[in-house]
Amino acid sequence: MKSNMGIHKVSETVERLWNGWELRMVMLPSLFLQIVLIIFGRRRKYTAGFWLGTLVWLAYLSADWVATFSLGILAQKLGDSETNCINSNRGLIPAFWAPVLLVHLGGPDTITAYSMEDNELWLRHLLVLGSQVAVAFYAFSRSWWSKDPLLFVAIPIFVAGIIKYGERNLVLRSASSEQFRSSVYSEMNELRRKFGEFSNSELFGMTAERLTERLGLRDIIPEAKFLHEAKLFFQMFRVLFADLVLADSNHLATHIILIDKKATEAFKLIEVEMGFMYDVLYTKVTRVCSSRIIFRAISFLCFVSALLAFSLGMSRNNHAYLTTEITISYFLLVGAIIFEIYSVVLVLFSDWAMLWLSGQKKPFFNSVYQTISRFLSFLHSDKRWARSMAQHNLIKSQLSENSLTCISLKKLLGKSHILSWEDISDDLKHLIFQHLLDKRTRYSYQMRYHDPGKNDLHEILSERGDQVIGREGCLEKIGGSVKSSDFNDSLLTWHIATDICYHDDVRKKGHPDTKMSISLSNYMVYLLRDCPFLLPRGIGKERYTQTCSDVNKHSELLRNITSGRNNSWDSYNTILQLEDSSGKVSVLCAGFKLAKSLQSLETQDGWENKRKWEMISQVWVEMLTYAASHCGWKEHAQALTRGGELLTHVCLLMAHLGLSEQCLTN
């Protein structure tokens, strides 16, 4: 009996504490979630990783829910007390808490959408905007009867909240597929006006210097010229992203600009271009315009005036609220002002603002541009994407998985497949860029008739290693490894062969120069395992699963191979006999056969080890370009939220060189 009474008293105490503190306990988490989104929402643009993505995902989903939940509680609580500021029972809740939650629902500038699908839900957000404004106004009207002495503080915050939430809805709408496509038509008209005066014959003989002069970029300060070139590239990216086509003059112009660049400079242009697209699709940080400046100024002034009014009101009516409510109120108001200042700083340091400053072509604006550039260089904050590629080695992954018994959170969420990250070196950029330029030289825009092997774009885009192998005279020996109808078959076969050749060469020769080949091989298998939507359609998942099963069956032998304990290819006979044992879906046997053929290039054909690995790296680059040209733009856009992918860079470089079927040739 006493036990039941004790439990009853405890429950009453907990209920009383919750009723008194529930609103305070949800207002502060709402503010905290805004801080998380502001700090980390934009970092995913240039930071790849599981934990950051998970944190942003949880904060994004929770922020709206917590703000809506808080607004519902607030609507119930406001006005319940009939006390006024003269009474000794100070139970008032500040009326401006309701519109502050409306500001939180508007979200920070650093993230408006978590994924592409969120943009398509702009109509739902419009409905939520109307309903939440109604709820906030209802809560505000209820506080009217409570005789809150600082009721007027809510008015400017109400204005700022409607601006912030309305701006978010407009950004979501503009990034939705239908509205985006509609807006691109005006982009196409601008490009048509810009290049309408050029003829193809004129462009064929034009230099990059002459082109930039004709485009009006001559007066741009040299250090900012790349931003304006990137803007031109971005205008074309928007057209491609909308599944429209580019005229000859457009991609011929970008080709002229690119062939005059070093590989690192070309990749930097693509970085800026991808950053522009990320901002348009997922944030409020877009091009500088007068309307945005006006709305930003109004919001800032609203928050400052509300803070000043509240501070003055507290000096005269400090008995109106409890100390807890006063403290939370200051947190909310000061936090809102800091968020606005941070948003302004973010825009000022963005590529959009730098583009606008340098575009004014005036000494004062150029000086501001150079000052900001030096400051950013000092802070080393010029990073625009992850500049790394995930690595997943099939054999290593399976062997290590068999030796581990622990279950991690990543494994439970199916994200344990990234073994490491590899920085994208300048040498790899040069290899890829030179390969694309070589492809471009084999495709002549001046020839308007079908010329197989030279002018057939479809044939060039269909190359996935066979062109490199044929150039080296090895089609008869290993050409079949890249001619499978399923690209994923060739990819996994070459991945296993590359890995086996590497371990065999390490055993025989020490450590050969294989870094680019191995990193590209592991990167492509990471795409197959974690991002199959970025690769051509096929049965890659089934092939991967059954190949893993075969690796598990022969784990002991494979451990000997990868550790360098095998001394002869005779040890592989067991695996080479697997051809009929596990069906045709597993590629373990095919990979070993290809590895044996590749190694025989040295032992039988007299190749140098360096030549063999150069061919392997070229094959992987050609597979990379094949995958890049057979992936939809929506998938590339989704990859921007994970730090960006090397595959997207390659795809954009190909498009700007005219190596895309969306580029018109007649």
Q: What is the pLDDT of residues 281-330, one digit of tens each?
A: 999 988 777 778 888 899 999 999 999 989 888 877 666 677 888 888 89
Count of Cβ atoms closer than 10 Å to residue 585 Cβ: 16
Angle subtended by helix axes 540-553 and 487-509, to nearest 10: 40
Mean pLDDT of 397-419: 62
State what percent of residues in the chain have pLDDT above 90: 35
Angle subtended by helix axes 609-629 and 515-530, to nearest 10: 30
Mean pLDDT of 556-563: 80
Considering only 428-432, 434-438, 451-455, which range has the smallest mean pLDDT? 451-455
Count up the domains in the chain and report the number: 2
Q: Is residue 113 part of a domain?
A: yes
Residue 380 in this model has a pLDDT that exceeds 80: no
Looking at every residue in the chain, the average pLDDT score rounds to 83
CA angle at residue 623 from 620 to 625, to 5 degrees?
Answer: 110
Query: Whole domain around residue 245: which residue ranges?
Result: 21-386
- Identify the helix (H) or strand (E) that includes residue 423: strand 420-423
One domain, residues 504 and 375: no
The H-assigned helical ranges of 120-153 are 122-144
Mean pLDDT of 122-132: 87
Q: Are 21 and 618 in contact (CB under 8 A)?
A: no
One domain, residues 482 and 376: no
Provide the 8-state DSSP code for 407.
Answer: -
Q: Is residue 408 part of a domain?
A: no
Q: Considering 386, 401, 428, which residue would you say is the last residue of a domain?
A: 386
Q: What is the pLDDT of residues 40-64, one digit of tens each?
A: 988 888 887 788 888 999 999 999 8
Check residue 577 and give its pLDDT.
Answer: 60
Maximum mean pLDDT: which of 139-153, 390-404, 516-530, 584-598: 516-530
Q: Is residue 395 part of a domain?
A: no
Q: Is residue 650 part of a domain?
A: no
- Residue for token pair 């592991």: 522
Provide the 8-state DSSP code for 570.
Answer: G
Mean pLDDT of 335-351: 90
State what percent of residues in the chain have pLDDT above 70: 84
For residue 324, give the nearest of 516, 97, 477 by alpha carbon. Answer: 97
For residue 43, give the nearest of 288, 383, 342, 375 by alpha carbon. Answer: 383
For residue 224, give the nearest of 102, 29, 369, 41 by alpha carbon. Answer: 369
Taking the C-alpha atoms of residue 137 and residue 143, their distance in angstroms, rounded to an integer, is 10
- Identify the helix (H) or strand (E) that includes residue 391: strand 388-391
Q: Considering 386, 420, 440, which residue would you say is the last residue of a domain?
A: 386
Q: Considering 367, 386, 405, which residue would you say is the last residue of a domain?
A: 386
Considering only 328-342, 344-358, 572-586, which range has the smallest mean pLDDT? 572-586
One domain, residues 374 and 487: no
The tokens of 340 are what? 């606005």
Check residue 614 and give its pLDDT.
Answer: 94
Question: 420 - beta bridge partners?
Answer: 391
Check residue 90 and give its pLDDT.
Answer: 46
One domain, residues 477 and 381: no
Mean pLDDT of 511-534: 91
Q: Is residue 457 part of a domain?
A: no
Torsion angle of C-alpha atoms 190, 196, 200, 206, degrees rounded to 10: -80
One domain, residues 507 and 382: no
The tokens of 630 are what? 């057979």
The tokens of 146 are what? 């409570």
pLDDT interval class at 563 (50, 70, 90): confident
Provide the 8-state DSSP code for 645.
Answer: -
Please list the helix, strand and coil fractions of the chain in percent, rounded to the nearest 5, in that order.
70, 0, 25
Check residue 401 and give its pLDDT.
Answer: 64
Torsion angle of C-alpha atoms 277, 284, 244, 229, degrees rounded to 10: -50
Distances from the Cα of 51 to the Cα of 55, 116, 172, 405, 478, angstroms: 6, 20, 26, 22, 42
pLDDT interval class at 449 (50, 70, 90): very low
Tell me the whole-structure pTM to 2 decimals. 0.89
> How many helices and strands, by DSSP H and E, does the chain display?
31, 2
Taking the C-alpha atoms of residue 520 and residue 614, their distance in angstroms, rounded to an integer, is 13
Residue 510 in this model has a pLDDT that exceeds 90: no
pLDDT interval class at 88 (50, 70, 90): very low
Check residue 9 and give its pLDDT.
Answer: 53
One domain, residues 94 and 235: yes
Check residue 651 and give its pLDDT.
Answer: 95
Residue 527 in this model has a pLDDT that exceeds 70: yes
Q: Are 351 and 227 in contact (CB under 8 A)?
A: yes
One domain, residues 370 and 486: no
Maximum mean pLDDT: which of 63-72, 233-242, 406-415: 233-242
The H-assigned helical ranges of 442-474 are 457-461, 466-471
One domain, residues 371 and 494: no
What does the radius of gyration of the chain's CA atoms come to, in whole angstroms?
A: 30
Q: Are 299 and 131 in contact (CB under 8 A)?
A: no
The number of CA neighbours under 13 Å toward the Cβ of 180 is: 23
Check residue 452 and give its pLDDT.
Answer: 46
Check residue 513 and give its pLDDT.
Answer: 79
One domain, residues 301 and 202: yes
> Which one has a higher pLDDT value, 386 or 496?
496
Q: Which residues contact 478 (CB under 8 A, 6 or more apart)?
A: 469, 594, 597, 598
Maximum mean pLDDT: which of 501-510, 587-596, 610-619: 610-619
Check residue 327 and give its pLDDT.
Answer: 87
One domain, residues 487 and 379: no
Check residue 584 and give its pLDDT.
Answer: 62
Mean pLDDT of 89-101: 74
Taking the C-alpha atoms of residue 129 and residue 106, their distance in angstroms, rounded to an integer, is 9
The tokens of 563 are what? 């550790």
> Which one has a higher pLDDT value, 410 or 130?
130
Report the 3 state secondary structure along 409-420.
HHHHCCCCCCCE
Check residue 649 and give its pLDDT.
Answer: 95
Q: Is residue 156 part of a domain?
A: yes
One domain, residues 340 and 481: no
Q: Is residue 654 part of a domain?
A: no
Mapped onto helix, strand or coil, the DSSP state of residue 663 is strand
Integer distance in angstroms from the first to the last C-alpha of the chain?
92
Burial 240-279 (b: 16+ CB within 10 A, else e): bbbeeebbbbbbbbbbbbbeebebeebbbbbbbbbbbbbb
DSSP characters for 575-638?
Answer: HHGGGGTSTTT--HHHHHHHHHHHHHHHHTT---HHHHHHHHHHHHHHHHHHHHHTS-HHHHHH
Question: 389 - beta bridge partners?
Answer: 422
> Which one has a higher pLDDT value, 278 or 550?
278
- Residue for token pair 């020996």: 477
Q: Are 252 and 203 in contact (CB under 8 A)?
A: yes
